[in-house]
Amino acid sequence: MSDLTFKHILELADDYELLLLDLWGVLVEDGKTYPGVVDTVNKLLKKKEIVFLSNAPRPNYVIANNLRDWGFSDVRPEMVVTSGDLARELVNNFEIKNPKVYHLGKDRNEDILLDIDHIPMNDLEQADILLLSVFRDEHEDIHEFDEFLKKAANLPHLLNICSNPDTTIPKGGIIRYCPGHFANIIEQHGGSVIYTGKPETPIYELVFRKKPNIVKRFV
């Protein structure tokens, strides 16, 4: 077996037209950037086209603000694509105008539906869409929604959207249970879920819709 040769990303950048940079676990963790990352990315920003790609269930302008706060230079919202963006697009383009949306997660991610025409619902049976952005840390009750999600799985008219496919992430030495964990419970009870983030294809298709000048090449 041959040894792997690792190269710095600055040595590889010129081989590509577009760089997709993930955030959590790549650039940042628990709100702090990894050593050397800010300097390297700022050098890349001066010479390459970059899209920051994230499974955050938030609008891109929120994440762009975070990136600037972390020290990444001149990051604009159009340079960011999030799973929240795609979830917003699905709600906005739903088959009926002003869909009735039950948002499980609005206690912590309410801005995912900001400026999107919809009718907020507290009755799941009357909703058209169940939007999942909910997360709980390991010291919280991660089973509090089990019966609710089982009910969602048995409502055939309901469109279930998971705005972050991640099931867990590390956060400050603990485990955070993400929307993907709760979406899995729906599937375990026979329901179906649309996942809007990595590694599913639609988020990458959204990137290329925003970057029509970039030619997709598959090797």
Closest CA to 96 of 118, 69, 75: 118
Neighbours of 53 (CB within 10 A): 23
Q: How confident is the model at residue 45, as a pLDDT?
A: 94
pLDDT in tens, 120-134: 999 999 999 999 999
> With DSSP H G I counted as helix, E B as strand and the rest as coil, what are the percentages for the chain, rounded to 5?
35, 20, 45
Q: How confident is the model at residue 212, as a pLDDT?
A: 87
* Residue 31, Ramachandran bin (φ over 0: left; ψ between -120 and 50: alpha; else beta): left
The beta strands (E) that lie in 6-157 are given as 18-22, 28-29, 32-33, 49-54, 80-82, 100-104, 119-120, 129-132, 136-137
Whole-number average pLDDT of the chain = 93
Per-residue pLDDT of the chain (219 residues; tens, 9 = 90+): 678 888 888 988 888 999 999 999 899 988 899 999 999 999 999 989 999 999 999 999 999 999 999 999 989 999 999 999 999 999 999 999 999 999 999 988 889 999 999 999 999 999 999 999 999 999 999 999 999 999 999 999 999 999 999 999 988 889 999 999 999 999 999 999 999 999 999 999 999 998 888 876 654
- The whole-angstrom separation of Cα 144 and Cα 136 is 10
Q: How confident is the model at residue 219, as a pLDDT?
A: 45
Give 174's strand partners.
171
- The whole-angstrom separation of Cα 182 and Cα 130 is 12
Phi, psi of 33 (to 5 degrees): -80, 150
Distance, first Cα to last Cα, the chain: 23
pLDDT in tens, 80-124: 999 999 999 999 999 999 999 999 999 888 899 999 999 999 999
β-strand pairing of 159-162 with 129-132 = parallel
DSSP letters of 12-33?
HGGG-SEEEEE-BTTTEETTEE
- The whole-angstrom separation of Cα 102 and Cα 128 is 8
Q: What are the structure tokens assigned to 54, written together?
A: 């994230």
Place of tokens 């994440």: 63
- The whole-angstrom separation of Cα 44 and Cα 60 is 20
Closest CA to 45 of 8, 85, 79: 79
Q: How confident is the model at residue 217, as a pLDDT?
A: 60
Neighbours of 44 (CB within 10 A): 17
**Contact present, 50 and 79 (Cβ < 8 Å):** yes
